[in-house]
Amino acid sequence: MPASIDLPEPLDVIAVGAHPDDVEIACGGTLAKLVDQGYRVGIVDLTDGEPTPNSPGPAARWKEALAAADALGIHERIQLNLTNRRLFDGFDQRVALACELRRWRPRLVIGFGEKTPMASPDHWQAMQITDGAIFYSRLTKWDEYFAHLPVHTVSRHLYFRLALEPDAIPSHSHHVVVDISDTIDRKIAAIECYQSQFGHKPSIVPRVRAAAIVTGASAGVDAGESFAAAKPFAVNDLMATVMGL
C-alpha cells in the first residue's frame, strides 16, 4: 500500500442500499441498536435516489438522508452516485463499492437479499453488486483497480428484506430476528425524515411499525427485523445466543 493512503477509522458494520431510505426501512432498528452497543456503523447508498416525483432534487434528498442517519446515530454515510433507475451490476459498480469496503474495513456487511416485486429493480441489482464487491474486496494482485487500497476480507454477510416484504427469504435457510423493541421509534423517526418520499404516504409509518411487530412476535419480542445469512455461521456460546444474554 502506498504510504500516501490514509485510511479512516474502520467501521464494524456497513449496510448497503440502492437508494437513500432503503436501509432505514429494511434494518434501521438494527443499525440503531448496533450503535447503542458501541459498534461503528456506516451506510452506503449506491445512488442518490433521484429523480423521484415529489423531491426537489438530489440536494434535498441528501439532506434527508443525513437527517435519517443522525436519527439512527450512524457514524458515516457514503453515497456512490451510481445512476438511479439505471443501476446495473457490472465491473465498475462492483469496484466502486469494493473500494469503500477496502477503505472502511467492515467486519459485517448487510444488503439486499432478494428481488422486490412491483418495486424498483435497482434493489436486485444492488444485491448482485454487493455480493460481487464483497468478493472483490478480498482479491489480491488486483490493486490497480482499487486505487491501491489494501485488501480486506469481510467476515460476515447478512441479507435484509424491506419491512413490508415477507420475513423469510425463500432461497436462504438460515434466518435470525433482531429484537428492535428499544429502537423501533428511532427507525420510524429516520423514515419520517424522508418527507419527499413518504410525506404523501401517511400509511407508511403504521405499516412499517406493524410489520416490525409481526416479525418480533414470531420470536417472542415486541418488534423485530429479520435477516438471512449468506452462509451458515457457528456460535461459540449457544446459551448466550439463543437466550439473548
Residue spans per domain, the chain: 13-243
What is the distance of C-alpha 149 from the center of its chain? 22
| pLDDT-derived band at 172, boundaries 50, 70, 90 | confident
User: Does position 232 have pLDDT exceeding 70, yes or no?
Assistant: yes
| pLDDT value of position 208 | 97
- Taking a C-beta distance cutoff of 8 angstroms, is the pair 231, 239 a contact? no
* 228/173 Cα distance (integer angstroms): 7
> Which DSSP string corresponds to 141-210?
S-GGGGTTPPP----EEEEE--TTS-SS-TT---EEEEE-TTTHHHHHHHHHT-HHHHTT-TTHHHHHHH
User: Does position 245 have pLDDT exceeding 90, yes or no?
Assistant: no
- Taking a C-beta distance cutoff of 8 angstroms, is the pair 44, 17 a contact? yes
Query: Which residue shows C-alpha cell 443522525?
Result: 70
> In the CATH hierarchy, which fold is given to the domain comprising 13-243?
Rossmann fold (3.40.50)
User: Does position 239 have pLDDT exceeding 50, yes or no?
Assistant: yes
pLDDT digits (tens, 9 = 90+) for 59-102: 999 999 999 999 999 999 999 999 999 999 999 999 999 999 99
pLDDT digits (tens, 9 = 90+) for 126-163: 999 999 999 999 999 999 999 999 999 999 999 999 99
| pLDDT value of position 201 | 94
pTM: predicted TM-score of the whole model, two decimal places: 0.95
- Compute the mean pLDDT over every residue in the chain, rounded to the nearest whole number: 95
Q: What average pLDDT does this structure show over 97-117?
A: 97
> Cell for 217?
412476535
